[in-house]
Structure 1
Amino acid sequence: MTETLVQALSYTMLAVVAAMVGGVIAVFRPPSARMESNVQHFAAGVVTAAVASELLPDVHDSAPAVVVVGFALGVTAMLGIHRLTGIIERRNVGGSLGSATGLLITIGIDMTIDGVLIGVTFLTEATTGVIIAVALAIEVLFLGVTGVIALPSDTGITRKLAVPAAFGALLTAGVVVGVVALEGVSGAPIALILAFGAAALLYLVTEELLVKAQKVPETPVSTTLFFCGFLSIFLLGMVH
């Protein structure tokens, strides 16, 4: 096991633990709609800052064609995942999981993509990898809550907690794949993946986190939390 992989996995554990914490919270003390909205705003600010201050600068000097293709693939992939979710829900796939099946599959795919992105950022620069891992840990905390809340009310505690555990496993697998498959690779392929990841994360912010956050009326607190999340990751990047 390479030093880079060990380092990437060690910081990924933050997100794995965050997923489990989110799951436990959802099982034993489900947050109110207002609290969910506040967390979503904060997470959106965190992810936006990570993309703006860490990912985009790394692809800024790449060939424009590489960046365009990476962004196009990222947006297309996220739209495809969204469409897949709709198809699964309309066809009632999933048995006892009911309508949660599509959402769980979507989050699972997102976890895998996030894992690959963490692995790639550690290959490019360890500092960037740390910041991306921290930012995604906050996102995963929210997704752990979301995944459990979406399950049918009669689902047992063990099965509920298996959901965030599976998210953590997929995230870890993505990190391993990203590092093992791309170690030693540089240039356009890495820039392509970083552009893909930036687009996927921006899609998550604009079409998932903020859209869901708007299900309850906006307040000065929730808006402020977005900027607090942004500033926290921006300052973390400056310190490093």
Structure 2
Amino acid sequence: MELFSAALGLGGIGLVAGLVGAVIAAVVTRRQTSTLTSYVQHFAAGLIAAAATLDLLPEAMHLGGGWPLITGFVLGTGFMLALRALLNRLGHAHDDAHGQNHGHDHGHAAQGSAVNLRLTIALAVVVLIDGAIIGVALSAGGAAALLIAIALSIELLFVSASTAGSTRAAGGSLGAAIGVGAVVAAMMPIGAVLGALVFAGVSAPLLVAGLAFGTAALLFTAVAEPLVEAVAVKESTGTIAMAAAGFLVFLILMMLM
């Protein structure tokens, strides 16, 4: 029971972050990603990469490694590649449909196409997986589960903001935009509890496979950034430095813990 309470609490951090991002994006819709946003996203990417390489992967190696680790990592990579392809396909389909309807029936089309339901469901699945990683880390006794939750919550803030902002920009109401972002954010605590429930007390090989799957998912999130529909911002020395700073902060906090 204590494990599930901890999972719910850590997942709740992401829920709060997602709600904040959704409200801000719904109230102040912005078409362009600011430099500050890019810096924060790179910092979060550094945190997420550190969580994968400094916590989940070493824990999986400590529990035995071997074929369960390789299998879990391959499955995690394949899953994230397939999900990225699905997100790109759904996103392009939504843009094409909105562009075709915009010219001849703006009022009706805006309301009908404001919420991209399929893309929202896909993003919700991604966040559910992220939440499950928190639960797996807790089940493995990872001391850095809190840090993983914080890193994923920072990323979720921008995912929810992007979802709410795109809904608002497409003509959706304020309530619809916030609601869509909230639904995506709510998957974080649900996933955390489910992850803890499924992996609590399982055999070492299954736990290793779960940790390896989570490692691949986190690395993919940090490197490919498939979750956020945002205008690309040119890489700079500052953004790269922020990613390195995020990694270093995670490392320092782990040593302090």
Do they superpose with TM above 0.5?
A: yes
- Corresponding residue for 2:217? 200
Contact 1:44 1:209 in 2 (8 A): no
Deviation readout 1:97-118 (Å, 9 max, x if unpaired):
4684454233211111111111
- Corresponding residue for 1:141? 157
When residues 87 and 27 of structure 1 are mapped into structure 2, their CA distance, relative to the original with a 3 A threshold, is closer
Contact 1:39 1:142 in 2 (8 A): no
Pairwise CA RMSD: 2.6
Per the TM alignment, residue 200 of structure 1 is displaced from its structure 2 partner at its CA by 0.9
Q: How many residues are matched?
A: 239
Determine helix, strand or coil for the equivalent of 1:225.
helix
Q: 1:124 aligns with which of 131, 135, 140?
A: 140
- Counterpart of 2:216, as a letter, is A
- Corresponding residue for 1:107? 123
Deviation readout 1:24-64 (Å, 9 max, x if unpaired):
22123346522332222111111011111111101124232
Give the distance between the partners of 2:187 and 2:13, measured in 1 at CA.
14
Contact 2:131 2:190 in 1 (8 A): yes
Deviation readout 1:58-102 (Å, 9 max, x if unpaired):
112423211111111011111111222344345558993468445
- Counterpart of 2:214, as a letter, is G
Give the distance between the partners of 1:101 and 1:185, measured in 2 at CA.
35
- Corresponding residue for 2:41? 40
- Corresponding residue for 2:68? 66
* 1:220 equivalenced with 2:219 (yes/no): no
Deviation readout 1:126-168 (Å, 9 max, x if unpaired):
5232121121111111212121222252111111111221123
When residues 208 and 79 of structure 1 are mapped into structure 2, their CA distance, relative to the original with a 3 A threshold, is same
Give the distance between the partners of 1:230 and 1:44, measured in 2 at CA.
8
* TM-score normalised according to structure 2 size: 0.83
Contact 1:18 1:138 in 2 (8 A): yes
Where do 5+ consecutive residues of structure 1 fail to align? none
- Corresponding residue for 1:166? 183
- Counterpart of 1:132, as a letter, is I
- Higher mean Cα deviation, 191-200 or 63-72? 63-72
Give the distance between the partners of 1:217 and 1:87, measured in 2 at CA.
24
Per the TM alignment, residue 221 of structure 1 is displaced from its structure 2 partner at its CA by 2.3
- Counterpart of 2:46, as a letter, is G
Where do 5+ consecutive residues of structure 2 fail to align? 99-108
Determine helix, strand or coil for the equivalent of 2:143.
helix
Determine helix, strand or coil for the equivalent of 1:8.
helix
* TM-score normalised according to structure 1 size: 0.88
* 1:151 equivalenced with 2:167 (yes/no): yes
Give the distance between the partners of 1:28 and 1:220, measured in 2 at CA.
32
- Counterpart of 1:84, as a letter, is L
- Corresponding residue for 1:75? 77
- Corresponding residue for 2:11? 12
Identity %: 31
Deviation readout 1:193-212 (Å, 9 max, x if unpaired):
11001101111122126998
Q: Computing the radius of gyration over CA atoms, which structure comes out larger, 1 or 2?
A: 2
Contact 1:41 1:209 in 2 (8 A): no
When residues 27 and 4 of structure 1 are mapped into structure 2, their CA distance, relative to the original with a 3 A threshold, is same
- Counterpart of 1:143, as a letter, is V
Contact 1:40 1:209 in 2 (8 A): no
- Higher mean Cα deviation, 85-94 or 102-111? 85-94
